[in-house]
Structure 1
């Protein structure tokens, strides 16, 4: 029932989904075209991912540990992206830009050293689920930020405060089934990344 309400709410989210996807694509293009200009910043971000990968290398079952770490990391961060959108949507927008830049930078570098087919094998199997999940999470974060921004002006507009409270309550209610949907989607993505993607690029 709650999932049905969430999917119905998705129809009201079109502009936020489009905005979130556009920001992510812009970051991706920046990562490809500005790889030299932003290389230092992106390399710094990649160190965290490298540390995540290195922690599982010496484990007895690295694929299982990789699955657990990827899943927990993605779920925790996705929920943070949603709720920290309350701070005027700054965090989810920043996350979309940075993640897009990282993906564009890595894809460009791997395509130069290997091939675009190698890039596709490393991204598409799990990315086809993981990337939309992150975009959806950030879109809801942006929505919360936009509602808060409207709330700032509510003392000056009659009736706006009541509408803002209603929107905020409704959006928070939607984040509960959203958390369940994101968890399931990222569980599948982590399973694919730690098995299929791991095997394809090994």
Structure 2
């Protein structure tokens, strides 16, 4: 009876607050924080480009410091499904980290946005100089239009949670989280993670095919091109 009662209450709550309306409210609540995350990423991209202009190839520097590359050596040998799984697992970690970064007063979330932006900007500058801007555009855009918004959403959720915590501390809010907040935010997080799933499969199957079809002749005879 208790289980049925809980199910009835859940059903009544969802019926009174449909997922589409909850998602719209979640976006209204988080959009400026998502924009802030995107701004941090953009700043990171600019820093990465400037670092390369100053003569710093971050992938080489990080590889020297760690004694290994940021990417597995066998990544080029992975099959499509294996690569998609690898990408999804790694991006899901970054996704979750950006949300839980609220527990570090947002510092970890901000660092994740800046660091990823710096790496993208720096690597993009390297590849642009080596192969061309059109190569990096084709290499990033198809999956990036899904992956980046997903990561920005996760960071936006982290920043918004921190903001609500601050409101509670200063007495502007009675509770950090409420049932309706958790419900609508969970829907937004699910939508964001779904974008990561799409991005992983696009990067594993579509992006390599496009690069091969459009740049095979240009890449012929070149070595060390990401």
TM-score class normalised by the smaller sequence: 0.7 to 0.9
Unaligned runs of 5+ in 2: 1-17, 213-226
Q: Which moved more, 1:112-121 or 1:172-181?
A: 172-181
| CA distance in structure 2 between the partners assigned to 1:148 and 1:90 by the alignment | 15
114 and 139 in structure 1: CA distance in 2 versus 1, 3 angstrom threshold: same
Structure whose CA Rg is larger:
2
Alignment of 1:32-181 (within 5 A): 32-35=49-52, 36=54, 39-40=57-58, 43-44=61-62, 49-51=70-72, 54-58=73-77, 62-151=79-168, 153-154=169-170, 159-160=171-172, 163=173, 165=175, 167-169=176-178, 170-181=180-191
For the 8 Å contact 2:138–2:207, the answer to whether it is kept is yes
SS at match of 1:188: helix
Unaligned runs of 5+ in 1: none
User: What TM-score comes out, normalization by structure 2 length?
Assistant: 0.74
For the 8 Å contact 1:89–1:143, the answer to whether it is kept is no
Q: Which has the higher helix share?
A: 1
41 and 106 in structure 1: CA distance in 2 versus 1, 3 angstrom threshold: closer
The residue number in structure 1 matching 2:32 is 15
User: What TM-score comes out, normalization by structure 1 length?
Assistant: 0.82
SS at match of 1:23: helix
User: 1:64 deviation in Å?
Assistant: 1.3
2:46 pairs, out of 29, 39, 63, with: 29
| CA distance in structure 2 between the partners assigned to 1:90 and 1:133 by the alignment | 19
Write out per-residue CA displacement over residues 77-135 of structure 1, whole angstroms, 9 at most, x where no aligned residue: 21231133232111111110001101100111111001100010110000011011111
Number of residue-to-residue matches in the alignment: 190
